[in-house]
Structure 1
Amino acid sequence: MTMKRYPIAIALAVAGSFAGCWTGGVIQLFSCDDPCYGLDPYECDDPCATCEGECLPPPLLGYDDPILLWTGEAAEEAAVPECPPEAPGLVFDGYGGFEADHVCPECRCTEPSCELPGGLTGSASAACDGTTPTSFDAPAGWSGACTAPAAVGSGELGSLLIQAPTVSGCAPANDAGAAPPELPAPWTVRARGCSGEAGVHTCREPGKMCVAAPVPRPTGFAMCVRYLRPGAPECPAEYPELREIYREFDDTRSCTPCGCGPLEGSACTALVSAYEDEGCSALLGAETVTLAGPKCVAGPELRIESMEARWIKDEPGTCAATGGVAVGEATPKGATFFCCQSDEVIAVP
């Protein structure tokens, strides 16, 4: 340590309490009221103060002073700790462990379904091509149960057109027009650097400096020095662990919109029966209809007062989901390199 030296014959006339030590034939005297009297600050190690933190090796040329650096696997901001009271200054916030790829939510399509014919259409002609057709509509969401639409009098119909079944319900389960889904944070490591004021020259060990820090050191915090030159350093033995952290990043990640491909393998066949009474007892006739199209049934003086239907083949098929493809990437910017002591090692002042 460096301190004011007084000859052995000096009169102890200075007010306050004094202490002394013998070094090379000279008595070194100092007063704890003013231990650095007459010296420049860089020349004086205060012999009366103690290190309020950790005594650490000073950084080599090209590195900044040591700071407390917290790193952890934290995608949520709530998991990032505040700087401790002993080192309250926030000097660095950053991210690391960027994921090269991202995963999009799986696109899905609603299940298609076979839908029964919407009803019958009566015509005065025998070819279902009358100019004034009469509709016998089934109720909405018809299950095929007996229903009695409005009837017409006998002799007014020469044919009945049985509408074809349809397939519906194959649509994206995800809103194709919505904004891309919110993707998780692209980093796996979150970092925060903290510093505080400490009496740098208060360590008893030669060649060490005092760094503000709580003792014991909180979990996840390590003492680190930031590399100030371009490129990645080869960390010194005193701070052997290299950590690469970024201050910011560009995020162009997104997912292509969801959609549904064409229906495949659909086979819907219904048996539709028409009755002359309102209770589906007096059968007029029954015909099968498929997805191929409607069917015309001719006959003189057709009279219909009720109808019902049932499935012979109910195979709506499938449609493949499209979209949900990951595009873009998260690109880190501004690499900062820290050389750190192990966060499992706690320095003793």
Structure 2
Amino acid sequence: MRRLMCLALSATPLLACEDEWLVPLMTPPPDSYPVLWMWVGPKDEAPPCADGQPPRWEGWMPEEPVDACDGCTCGPAACVLPSRLTTDALSCPGGGSSVSVDAGNRWDGTCAALPSPVAPEELASVVYDPPALSPCAPSETPEPPPVAARFVRVCAGDTSQEPPGFIACMQAGREGTCWDGYTRHEFFEELVDHRACAPCECGPPAGGTCVAELLLYGDSACNDRVDATLSAGLGETPCADIRSSLPLSAVRASLVEAAPGACSPSVPAVTGTLERREPHVVCSFPET
């Protein structure tokens, strides 16, 4: 069959007429048999080549890749106790000499003794910093979306009958071009996925309700209460007057309301590329 085809096209200049003949850039004779048969679809449904022949080529036709990853989530924005308060020698709103007291960033609200007690004459009022919402913890970095591609099997065309499910085609010209009216099909023997997802991130916390209560003590063991009790919500910095004759020697705090906030997760972009190796181009015959 190949020898007859070479003879039939001998009037047209050819670059070669070998075991796999080179298609010239002209329309093939309408009564010639197809050079190749091509099947496209899911790999597990691909039929074998006719007459037990091995495939000429196999590969993949990738679709346009998705440029965003899915699956990012954010944990709750928990209520966090403040650790700092400021005493003042004058009644609210203050304005006299002040002392800043900090129980530390990891304070859990249990009894915390001050390094140096604040004397009663320096303790006319106190301002407690408000509670806050912690940053949300992002989920782990997701995997990129799977590569969407159709499987391609190309078989030799030297069969007199059309294999079921295959379409007739010819190998493209040297520049990968097809003739007018023919449909171009490009596929690749191997797809190498170099893509990854950018790490998940969380936006600023919002919402939630946090109310902290501060208790003041005149002794380091938190037994003798100073008369003031402060409650502060998100964004509030209340001031309370102190009328006790006790020094300020220790503090204790607790969250009396704690409804966590939330954060908006990011939609991470896909980084990297999908590498396409060993390309092939075939041209399917015009539909009649």
2:240 is paired with a residue whose SS is strand
> Which runs of 5 or more residues in structure 1 are unaligned?
1-41, 43-58, 201-206, 210-220, 234-243, 340-349
- Picking from 99, 110, 114, the partner of 1:134 is 99
- Picking from 38, 42, 48, the partner of 1:73 is 42
Distance (whole Å) between structure 2 residues aligned to residue 139 and residue 334 of structure 1? 67
Post-superposition offset of 1:277 = 1.2
- Equivalent residue for 2:217? 275
- Equivalent residue for 2:12? none
- Equivalent residue for 2:242? 299
The amino acid across from 2:237 in the alignment is P
Distance (whole Å) between structure 2 residues aligned to residue 149 and residue 190 of structure 1? 72
> Which runs of 5 or more residues in structure 2 are unaligned?
1-6, 8-28, 172-178
- Picking from 263, 269, 277, the partner of 1:319 is 263
Post-superposition offset of 1:297 = 2.2
Q: Measured at CA, do residues 99 and 91 of structure 1 come closer, stay the same or move farther in structure 2, by a change above 3 Å?
A: same
Q: Measured at CA, do residues 101 and 134 of structure 1 come closer, stay the same or move farther in structure 2, by a change above 3 Å?
A: closer
Post-superposition offset of 1:264 = 4.0
- Equivalent residue for 2:88? 123
Post-superposition offset of 1:276 = 0.9
2:113 is paired with a residue whose SS is coil
Distance (whole Å) between structure 2 residues aligned to residue 294 and residue 154 of structure 1? 23
1:123·1:157 contact (CA, 8 Å) conserved in 2? yes
- Equivalent residue for 1:190? 151
- Note the 1:233-252 alignment, pairs <5 A: 245-247=185-187
**Paired residues, number:** 231
The amino acid across from 2:257 in the alignment is K
Q: Measured at CA, do residues 125 and 71 of structure 1 come closer, stay the same or move farther in structure 2, by a change above 3 Å?
A: same
Distance (whole Å) between structure 2 residues aligned to residue 91 and residue 130 of structure 1? 91
1:151 is paired with a residue whose SS is strand
Q: TM-score, normalised by structure 1?
A: 0.50
Q: CA RMSD in A?
A: 4.8
The amino acid across from 1:161 in the alignment is V
- Note the 1:189-268 alignment, pairs <5 A: 189-193=150-154, 225-227=168-170, 229-232=179-182, 245-247=185-187, 260=202, 263-268=205-210
Post-superposition offset of 1:63 = 5.2
Q: Measured at CA, do residues 230 and 184 of structure 1 come closer, stay the same or move farther in structure 2, by a change above 3 Å?
A: farther
Post-superposition offset of 1:105 = 1.0
Post-superposition offset of 1:74 = 5.2
Distance (whole Å) between structure 1 residues aligned to residue 269 and residue 57 of structure 2? 35
Distance (whole Å) between structure 1 residues aligned to residue 118 and residue 76 of structure 2? 42
2:213·2:229 contact (CA, 8 Å) conserved in 1? yes
Q: TM-score, normalised by structure 2?
A: 0.58
- Note the 1:322-333 alignment, pairs <5 A: 322-323=266-267
Distance (whole Å) between structure 2 residues aligned to residue 167 and residue 160 of structure 1? 23
Post-superposition offset of 1:318 = 2.4
- Picking from 133, 148, 152, the partner of 1:167 is 133
Distance (whole Å) between structure 2 residues aligned to residue 223 and residue 288 of structure 1? 77
2:134·2:205 contact (CA, 8 Å) conserved in 1? no
